């Protein structure tokens, strides 16, 4: 009696060699993530051992040079920025996808889709630069200092909008035509078709896109750093400046020493853990949507 096992599948020696090489490649690729967490952890270890994990949420403030490691204001800044950006980008992005699939005349849809793809291709540093030279002065004219939560939300929203729009577009495109034809045959209006039939059917895919966008918003560094003022404080209004976790790392790595440096790696770990969880969620959701559309 036999069953499929690797040993019998690659009878030729060149195949065995090929397979070993490919396995090596895959092992390296798979191990990068492990390496990242290992090295972050080892670099963060000194401060975790010295101060323990709780000081990062109980200390009076973030003054790493004086041994104070309060991360919460920056966690709050990160979450505010990301949440605000999602609040703007999700409705705009989903409506854009609905526009593409159900409202735009064909030639316009082609142009519009290209435009959203272009928007997705613009690098974050260009978004940040534009925010800095165009948006911030505009907001400052209204309410100083201009570098603010509002500017961060605005720039981030623009950055993640294409992600939301393109994944929602793909999810809506995967809704079976027969379902839509059936809705039309029932005499449903266009909006009822979209709202009651198409969007619920595409829910998992749209949601996966939103989660993906959330991950991007949480982890974005440069664009946010350039427009939010980087003051370590929980913002009390949309015009107040703030600092995100990612920006904190980029700003302070240049001169951080010893425990301060280790503390930055802790914030890197927090960030990576947060986003890794979101990515797993997105992978599961898109797996579900693939099932649903299959």
The least CB distance from residue 142 to other proteins, in Å, is 17
Please identify which residue in 102, 203, 232, 292 interacts with other proteins, judged by CB under 8 A: 102
Pick the piece of the chain touching other proteins (CB under 8 A) from 50-58, 168-176, 196-204, 263-271: 263-271
Please identify which residue in 25, 60, 185, 257 interacts with other proteins, judged by CB under 8 A: 25
Nearest to 204 by CA among 92, 87, 282: 282
Helix (H) or strand (E) holding 68: strand 68-69
Would you say 26 or 87 has its CB closer to other proteins?
Answer: 26
When asked if residue 45 is in the footprint of other proteins (CB under 8 A), the reply is no
Q: Is 164 exposed, middle or buried (0-12, 13-18, 19+ CB in 10 A)?
A: buried
Q: Is 111 exposed, middle or buried (0-12, 13-18, 19+ CB in 10 A)?
A: exposed
Count of Cβ atoms closer than 10 Å to residue 116 Cβ: 20
- Total residues in contact with other proteins, by rule CB under 8 A: 100
Please identify which residue in 26, 87, 234, 290 interacts with other proteins, judged by CB under 8 A: 26
Pick the piece of the chain touching other proteins (CB under 8 A) from 66-74, 199-207, 233-241, 250-258: 250-258
The least CB distance from residue 90 to other proteins, in Å, is 11
Please identify which residue in 64, 84, 152, 215 interacts with other proteins, judged by CB under 8 A: 215
Would you say 61 or 133 has its CB closer to other proteins?
Answer: 133
Helix (H) or strand (E) holding 28: helix 13-51
Count of Cβ atoms closer than 10 Å to residue 75 Cβ: 19
The least CB distance from residue 60 to other proteins, in Å, is 26
When asked if residue 110 is in the footprint of other proteins (CB under 8 A), the reply is no
Q: Is 289 exposed, middle or buried (0-12, 13-18, 19+ CB in 10 A)?
A: buried
């Amino acid at each position: 009696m036999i069953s499929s096992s690797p040993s019998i599948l690659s009878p030729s020696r060149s195949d065995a060699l090929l397979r070993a090489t490919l396995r090596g490649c895959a092992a390296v690729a798979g191990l990068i993530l492990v390496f990242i967490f290992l090295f972050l952890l080892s670099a963060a270890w000194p401060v975790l051992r010295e101060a323990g994990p709780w000081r990062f949420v109980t200390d009076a403030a973030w003054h790493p040079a004086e041994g104070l490691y309060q991360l919460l204001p920056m966690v709050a800044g990160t979450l505010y920025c990301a949440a605000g950006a999602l609040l703007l980008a999700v409705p705009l992005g989903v409506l854009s996808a609905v526009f593409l699939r159900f409202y735009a005349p064909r030639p316009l849809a082609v142009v519009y889709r290209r435009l959203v793809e272009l928007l997705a291709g613009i690098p974050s540093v260009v978004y940040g630069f534009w925010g800095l030279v165009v948006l911030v002065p505009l907001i400052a004219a209204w309410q100083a200092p201009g570098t603010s939560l509002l500017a961060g939300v605005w720039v981030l929203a623009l950055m993640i909008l294409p992600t939301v729009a393109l994944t929602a577009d793909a999810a809506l495109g995967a809704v079976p035509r027969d379902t839509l034809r059936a809705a039309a045959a029932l005499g449903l209006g266009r909006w009822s078709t979209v709202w009651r039939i198409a969007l619920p059917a595409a829910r998992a895919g749209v949601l996966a896109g939103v989660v993906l966008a959330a991950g991007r918003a949480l982890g974005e560094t440069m664009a946010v750093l350039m427009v939010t003022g980087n003051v370590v404080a929980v913002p009390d209004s949309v015009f107040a400046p703030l600092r995100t976790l990612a920006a904190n790392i980029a700003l302070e790595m240049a001169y951080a020493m010893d425990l301060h440096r280790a503390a930055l790696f802790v914030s890197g770990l927090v960030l990576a853990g947060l986003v890794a969880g979101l990515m797993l969620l997105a992978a599961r959701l898109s797996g579900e949507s693939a099932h649903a559309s299959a």
